Amino acid sequence: MSGNIHPSAVIAEGAIIDAEARIGPFCVVGSHASIGPGCELISHVCVDGHTRLGANNKVFPFVSLGHQPQDLKYKGEASELIIGDNNTIRENVTMNPGTEGGGMVTRVGNSNLIMAYAHVAHDCQLGDGIVMANCATLAGHVHVFDGAIIGGLTAVHQFVRIGAASMIGGACAVNKDVPPFCMCTGGYRAGLSGLNLVGLRRRGVKGESVSRLKRLYRILFQGSADKDERLKQAEGLLVSDAPARDLVEFVRQATRGVCMHRDEDA
């Protein structure tokens, strides 16, 4: 194990470092941290708190994982940051653990690309296959579903949900839920701009399923009726079609409101 840890690294007593992990120069690993097999901390990485990295994560210089969350309600509780497998975490990324008020766990899934200067705040829940571009920022309690893409310089409000296979453009301010399979653009006045057809194709969704999603999009996000009436209309289109049902159920569960279609001249 010692052969994989650079002499300049500081490893606190109690830290668990797998024999197949590689810890580069000037890294600091705290006493409650756990680094799994195949992980590589390239250099100048700080891992603190009750932080657990799974297997084969690559962490680039000046990343901060598991330090005290930026929440004034945090009182030192032993909350966790749990990171899955095969994630790429680029330079200067920060990820904070959970808080008592949010379930005590911030969780990052598998095979995610978190680009430079991105921030994952306390109690966020990230799925698999997500891309967060440079300087994308998640406030506390944000839930990002599988395959979502968040553009650079985009800020997501606390408690917002980002649906599966959705795509948010750069420099957006997102303060309502972004439905699955949808595009969100428009900068500070962000709103929906149609379906993420490329993302749907990559997931193998095509033909009648895409046509049904287009009809649901018009009903749910371009209709003038209230939410209950729009959901009632949408129900009439549902068959044994998982993407359509996922979209309708996501809207039904929204508590912060859902982004609506944005007119280009708005």
Strands 182-185 and 191-195: antiparallel
d(C-alpha 198, C-alpha 224), whole Å: 28
Active site residue 140: yes
d(C-alpha 14, C-alpha 68), whole Å: 19
d(C-alpha 248, C-alpha 143), whole Å: 17
Contacts of 264 (CB under 8 A, 6+ apart): none
Strands 46-47 and 34-35: unpaired
Structure tokens, 14 = 């109690």
How crowded is residue 125: how many other Cβ atoms within 10 Å of its Cβ?
A: 20
Choice among 50, 122, 141, 143 that is catalytic? 122
Helix (H) or strand (E) holding 34: strand 34-35
Q: Do 88 and 106 contact (CB within 8 A), yes or no?
A: no
d(C-alpha 42, C-alpha 115), whole Å: 15
Choice among 71, 123, 177, 246 that is catalytic? 123
Burial state string for 135-151 with b = 16 or more CB within 10 A and e = fewer than 16: bbbbbbbbbbbbbbbbb
Active site residue 265: no
Active site residue 228: no
Choice among 54, 102, 109, 140 that is catalytic? 140
- Please give the C-alpha separations between residue 88 and each of 9, 17, 18, 57, 124, in angstroms, as whole numbers: 21, 18, 18, 6, 18
Q: Which residues are catalytic?
A: 122-123, 140
